[in-house]
């Protein structure tokens, strides 16, 4: 076996008496100075499996008991150079287990695994050519506009009364789901797996809570050893039939029973999930308030992923009719303040009802190429970005400081700044919010190593930026839509005036010279 890759032990044995989802099979694995107890699962056809995700190379001993028994040794070799382990949350950003930075550039295909094999294959081929390294999709099928097909398989079989029997997994479904997760891993794509959602006509959203727990137990037994899994408790949890206490119980169950502590989030429609909860590793949000992203990062000290910000497309729905240019712009807004964004696409297809956002197929929009352009820029910066407080935000931070700290800042600023701080401190919270939303500056930095300014819809002919005197900088003007980069100054520092082309979607990047 290899470090950071799923190790699998397969055993033969008679089918379990009773629940096939909660088979009595447990493995104790010892090695690397640790001992871990893992539940195995029944995979159908008189076959049991135990999966292990080795974090370190070395020799591990295992002992399996329950419906089947076996003892043995697993030899784990060092990881291949291209394999980095699970993605983890580190502060307000992400990195792989081997400390390689990870920047999520995601897309959404909700009902991916509920389509025909031909269509899923086409989607996978599209993803292989696209810039995305995270995919949001559901375990359960989706029922909504442009989603009227029934899948070939469901997660469970039905009992004699025609009700879903969570103790009887549909093994063909789980085999197909696993195959796609493995395929995504080979492409370097994280599987952001949505465990529940409200868009349902089959009864999955209304399962009794005890059935939800049996389902989750099987999901975790079967999938948690895949390194590219993220757990998304829900898509739009707040419009589900479940109560808040049900969701909290679900969150606690997943966090407690996952042996490998994968990333865990819960996505909203209206009120955001409480990201201050200890099990939540990052914010997965639906919002159009880009000016709030930096504040959310600062409030929770966790990564913020804007997993739904509307979709590039031409539907009559408000959420499905932004341009490719606007989708690209939204990615730049998020990234420039140290947050992240997720793509989706909804182009009308009256004949086949194949829209990428739910079913996949072929990408038709203009934004993916531009998103790939941004991803390349971000991945070659000296490190992840942090937001630079701007305008009223920065002034409010100064207003909250001690008089001694304020005097130090006032002495270095233009004299009018003292009056600005005083005036802003007298504004109501509502007025401040309106001002920030209307005149927000999207700008970020990586310590003193680089500075990024995104001008969004502004059409400036020039701007003056202030760079530290401790370094000299190479300054580029970037046309984010036409995907061009032009070096306009070198060996620059202090106050620098830059000529700009006077059109939308321009960025300036200053990187310290070495």
The CATH number for 31's domain is 2.60.40.10
Q: How many domains does the chain have?
A: 4
pLDDT of residue 392 exceeding 80: no
Give pLDDT, residue 433.
Answer: 85
- Model pLDDT for residues 267-296, shown as the tens digit of each residue: 999 999 999 999 999 999 999 999 999 999
Instruction: Specify whether 266 is located in the same domain as 333.
Output: yes
Top-confidence residue, 476 or 422 = 476
- Model pLDDT for residues 220-269, shown as the tens digit of each residue: 999 999 999 999 999 999 999 999 999 999 999 999 999 999 999 999 99
- Find out whether 507 and 332 touch, Cβ atoms under 8 Å: yes
SS3 label, residue 500: coil
Half-sphere exposure of 2 (CA within 13 A, CB side): 11
- Region 414-435: mean pLDDT is 87
Mean pLDDT estimate for the chain:
96
Alpha helices, DSSP H only, in 88-230? Answer: 117-129, 171-186, 209-223
In a domain, 302, yes or no: yes
Give pLDDT, residue 412.
Answer: 79
Q: In what order do the strands lie in the sheet with 34-39?
A: 34-39, 25-31, 58-66, 70-76
Give pLDDT, residue 180.
Answer: 98
Give pLDDT, residue 238.
Answer: 98
- Find out whether 452 and 385 touch, Cβ atoms under 8 Å: yes
- Model pLDDT for residues 62-72, shown as the tens digit of each residue: 999 999 999 99
| Separation of alpha carbons 130 and 123, rounded Å | 10
Using the CB atoms, write b or e for 257-290: b if 16+ within 10 Å.
Answer: ebbbebbbbbbbeeebbebeeebbbbbbbbbeeb
In a domain, 439, yes or no: no
pLDDT of residue 190 exceeding 70: yes
Task: Name the pLDDT band for 369 (thresholds 50, 70, 90).
Answer: very high
For 247, the token pair is: 């969701």
Instruction: Specify whether 299 is located in the same domain as 362.
Output: yes
For 366, the token pair is: 């203009």
Judged by average pLDDT, the poorest of 244-253, 297-306, 361-370, 393-402 is 393-402
What is the 3 state secondary structure string of 16-71? CCCCCCCCCEEEEEEECCEEEEEECEECCCCEEEEEECCCCCEEEEEEEEECCCEE
- Model pLDDT for residues 466-514, shown as the tens digit of each residue: 999 999 999 999 999 999 999 999 999 999 999 999 999 999 999 999 8
For 406, the token pair is: 């304020």
* Residue whose C-alpha is closest to residue 316's, from 286, 341, 350: 350
Q: Which residue has the tokens 């292989």?
A: 128
Domain of 346 in residue numbering reads as 99-151+188-199+228-379
In a domain, 87, yes or no: no
Instruction: Specify whether 417 is located in the same domain as 453.
Output: no
Give long-range contacts, CB 8 A cutoff, 24+ apart: 210-214: 211/164, 211/166, 212/246, 212/250, 213/249, 213/253, 214/19, 214/21, 214/22, 214/166, 214/167
| Separation of alpha carbons 80 and 78, rounded Å | 7
pLDDT of residue 7 exceeding 70: yes
In a domain, 30, yes or no: yes
State what percent of residues in the chain have pLDDT above 70. 99
Give pLDDT, residue 33.
Answer: 82
Give pLDDT, residue 391.
Answer: 61
Note if the pTM is more than 0.85. Answer: yes
Instruction: Specify whether 360 is located in the same domain as 418.
Output: no
- Model pLDDT for residues 131-178, shown as the tens digit of each residue: 999 999 999 999 999 999 999 999 999 999 999 999 999 999 999 999
């Amino acid at each position: 076996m290899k470090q950071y890759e799923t190790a699998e032990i397969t055993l033969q044995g008679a089918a379990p008496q009773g629940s096939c989802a909660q088979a009595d099979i447990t493995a104790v694995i010892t090695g690397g100075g640790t001992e871990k107890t893992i539940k195995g699962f029944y995979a159908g056809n008189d076959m049991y499996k135990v999966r292990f995700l080795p974090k370190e190379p070395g020799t591990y001993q295992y002992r399996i008991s329950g419906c089947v028994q076996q003892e043995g040794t697993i030899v784990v070799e060092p990881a291949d150079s291209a394999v980095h382990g699970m993605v983890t949350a580190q502060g307000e950003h992400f990195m792989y287990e081997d400390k390689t930075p990870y920047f999520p550039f995601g897309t959404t295909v909700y009902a991916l695994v509920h389509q025909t094999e031909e269509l899923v294959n086409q989607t996978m081929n599209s993803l292989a050519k696209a810039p995305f390294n995270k995919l949001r999709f559901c375990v359960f099928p989706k029922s909504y506009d442009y989603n009227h097909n029934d899948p070939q398989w469901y997660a469970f079989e039905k009992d004699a009364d025609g009700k879903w029997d969570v103790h009887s997994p549909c093994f063909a479904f789980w085999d197909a789901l696993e195959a796609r997760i493995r395929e995504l891993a080979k492409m370097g794509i994280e599987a952001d797996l949505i465990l529940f959602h409200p868009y349902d006509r089959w009864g999955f959203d209304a399962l009794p809570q005890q059935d939800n727990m049996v389902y989750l137990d099987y999901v975790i037994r079967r999938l948690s050893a895949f390194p590219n899994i993220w757990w998304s408790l829900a898509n739009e949890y707040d419009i589900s039939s479940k109560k808040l206490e049900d969701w909290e119980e679900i969150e606690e169950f997943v966090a407690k029973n996952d042996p490998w502590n994968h990333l865990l989030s819960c996505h909203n429609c209206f009120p955001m999930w409480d990201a201050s909860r200890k099990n939540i590793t990052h914010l997965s949000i639906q919002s159009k308030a880009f000016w709030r992203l930096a504040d959310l990062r600062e409030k929770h000290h966790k990564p913020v992923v804007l997993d739904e910000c509307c979709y590039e497309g031409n539907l009559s729905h408000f959420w499905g009719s932004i341009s490719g240019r606007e989708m690209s712009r939204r990615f730049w807004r998020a990234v420039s303040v140290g947050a992240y964004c997720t793509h989706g696409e909804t182009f009308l297809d009256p004949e086949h009802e194949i829209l990428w956002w739910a079913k996949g197929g072929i990408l038709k929009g203009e934004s993916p190429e531009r998103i790939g352009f941004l991803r390349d820029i971000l991945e070659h910066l000296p490190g992840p970005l942090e937001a630079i407080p701007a305008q009223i935000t920065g002034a409010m931070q100064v207003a909250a400081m001690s008089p001694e700290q304020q005097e130090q800042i006032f002495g270095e600023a233009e004299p009018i700044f003292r009056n600005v701080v005083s005036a802003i401190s007298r504004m109501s919270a509502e007025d401040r919010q309106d001002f920030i939303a209307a005149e927000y500056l999207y700008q970020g930095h990586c310590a003193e190593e680089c500075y990024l300014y995104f001008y969004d819809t502004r059409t400036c002919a020039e701007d003056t930026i202030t760079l530290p005197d401790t370094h000299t900088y190479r300054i580029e003007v970037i046309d984010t839509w036409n995907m061009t980069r032009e070096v306009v100054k070198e060996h620059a520092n202090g106050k620098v005036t830059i000529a700009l082309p006077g059109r939308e979607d321009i960025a300036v990047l200053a990187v310290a010279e070495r």
